[in-house]
Structure 1
Amino acid sequence: MATESHQPPILLVIDLQHGLVEGDPEWGPRSTPNLIENVKHLLKTWRSKNWPILHIQHDAFNEPKNPINAAYPKTFAIHNSAAPEGDEKVFVKHTGSAFFAKGLPEAINSYGHRKTVVIGMDGSQCINSTVRQGDDLGYKMFVVVDACASYGMEDYEGRNVGAENTHNAAMWMLAPYAKITTTEKVWKDLGY
């Protein structure tokens, strides 16, 4: 069996669903204008190397009007830019962290290592929850900031914090829990 350092990293694709990638106009613009391009590039590279890719879908089943509720198949569906291919597994979650998706930890562990690269949405919510929990569980987490995106939020005083500022803050807050990297630098950071 290969040592962990020689095993390919897992790409964890979180919540890249039509309803999030395209967004509701009421949410305002999302961050990361090159999100789709960067996601496609990373998926193409992972697939060309036959490295493991695991997809996560968020089903907001307890929020009947949420566009990523499975009751809305069009917006719940995985975005075309990130659509699974071949035997790539899809896990459905109902909480912020992907590690609560039934079978995900077992799937990651079945590859014999814990080096996990995260891309997807929303940086300030599900990406944040997943990365923190992954670190707590002992996984070696990497976050590709320009293959993740966020929407703006309101601060505690009700002021609008734009999408890019929200995303930058969310990614920076993950630095103690993961290696923060970019589409261009991820290979070097992974040791390839």
Structure 2
Amino acid sequence: MNDTEFHIADNAALLVIDVQKGFDDAPFWGPRNNPAAEANIAALMDAWEATGRPLVLVRHTSVSGSVLAAGHPGHAFKDFVEERGGRAALRVDKTVNSSFYGTPDLAEWLTAQGVGQLVVAGIQTNMCVETTARMAGNLGYDVLVPLDATHTFDLSAGPQGPALTAEQLATATAVNLQGGGFARVTTTEALLAAAPAPATA
């Protein structure tokens, strides 16, 4: 990966996925990684607003009664997202991992807007962020994932199964996405440096 080798399109869309209050429930989720994730997401949102690029907010609505269920306080976006989300070009609600299986239809909107490049950030790194980035890559989008603008939680396959820490899962996501050719994994700093205001602004 060479962060100097990419260009941010004038209409590159920033997808902020599932940055919801329910993910602050440590007893429910367990240990997390990357405490800087929220600050980096906020910095990207500010940059996208300043440069007039489209922002898409994605929210998960759990159907299993978790802290992300509709009507639960945890379903709401975190305050810093809601405060910056007033100019969001699109808000998508989903019940599965991929943001492309939500309402309204994300791919349809991106096509209508002529968007071909996506920056994917949010929660959880190895779940909805990775699934969305994989599908976006399969659909032909140029996908950039600032890994430090995501976070996840320790996860096990059950009482007798293997377990990985949040940091190990994030590393696996980076390898899967870039090694598998789905996306280019980068940093918030590199994206901010590569995303000056569009020439038409």
TM-score, normalising length: structure 2: 0.84
Distance 2:176 2:146 in 1: 14
- Aligned residue identity for 1:81: F
Q: Secondary structure at the match of 2:140?
A: coil
Measured in 2, the distance between the counterparts of 1:94 and 1:26 equals: 19
Amino acid at match of 1:185: A
Which residue does 1:68 correspond to in 2?
68
| Structure with the higher fraction of residues in helix conformation | 2
Gapped runs of 5+ residues in structure 2?
A: 1-6
Structure 2 contact 51–196 (Cα < 8 Å) conserved: no
Structure 1 residues 112 and 88: alpha-carbon distance in aligned structure 2, compared to 1, 3 A threshold: closer
- Aligned-partner Cα distance in 2 for 1:32–1:96: 21
CA 1:5/1:182 → structure 2, altered by over 3 Å: closer, same or farther? closer
What is the count of residue pairs matched by the alignment?
A: 185
Q: Deviations over 1:77-131 (max 9, x none)?
A: 0111222113532110111100011221122122213100000011111111111
For 2:77, the equivalent position in structure 1 comes to: 78
- Say whether 1:94 aligns with 2:95: yes
- For 1:5 and 1:154, locate their aligned partners in 2 and report how far apart those are by CA, in whole Å: 37
What's the TM-score, normalizing by structure 1? 0.87
Partner of 2:187: 182
Distance 2:145 2:9 in 1: 20
1:1-192 correspondence runs (5 A): 6-20=9-23, 22-61=24-63, 63-64=64-65, 66-72=66-72, 74-83=73-82, 84-102=85-103, 103-155=105-157, 158-175=161-178, 176-187=181-192
Asked if the contact 2:177–2:183 (Cα under 8 Å) also holds between the matched residues in 1, the reply is yes
Cα RMSD of the aligned pairs, angstroms, is: 2.2
- Aligned partner of 1:142: which letter? L
Q: Which amino acid is 1:172 matched to? A: V
Distance 1:11 1:5 in 2: 11
Amino acid at match of 2:127: Q
The answer on whether the counterparts of 2:116 and 2:142 sit within 8 Å (CA) in structure 1 is: yes
- What stretches of structure 1 of length at least 5 have no aligned partner? none
6 and 177 in structure 1: CA distance in 2 versus 1, 3 angstrom threshold: closer
Equivalent residue letter for 2:106: L
CA distance in 2 between partners of 1:161 and 1:53 (Å)? 32
Deviation sequence 1:157-177 (CA, Å, 0-9, x none) = 524321111112122211120
Q: Report if the CA contact (8 A) 2:44-2:192 is conserved.
A: no
Q: Distance in 1 between matches of 2:126 and 2:92?
A: 20
Rounded to whole Å, the distance in 2 between the matches of 1:124 and 1:10 is 20
For 2:8 and 2:70, how far apart are their aligned partners in 1? 38
Quick one: percent identity of the two aligned structures? 26
Aligned-partner residue type, residue 24 of structure 1: A
Does the 8 A contact of 1:23 with 1:30 survive in 2?
no
1:76 shift after superposition: 0.2
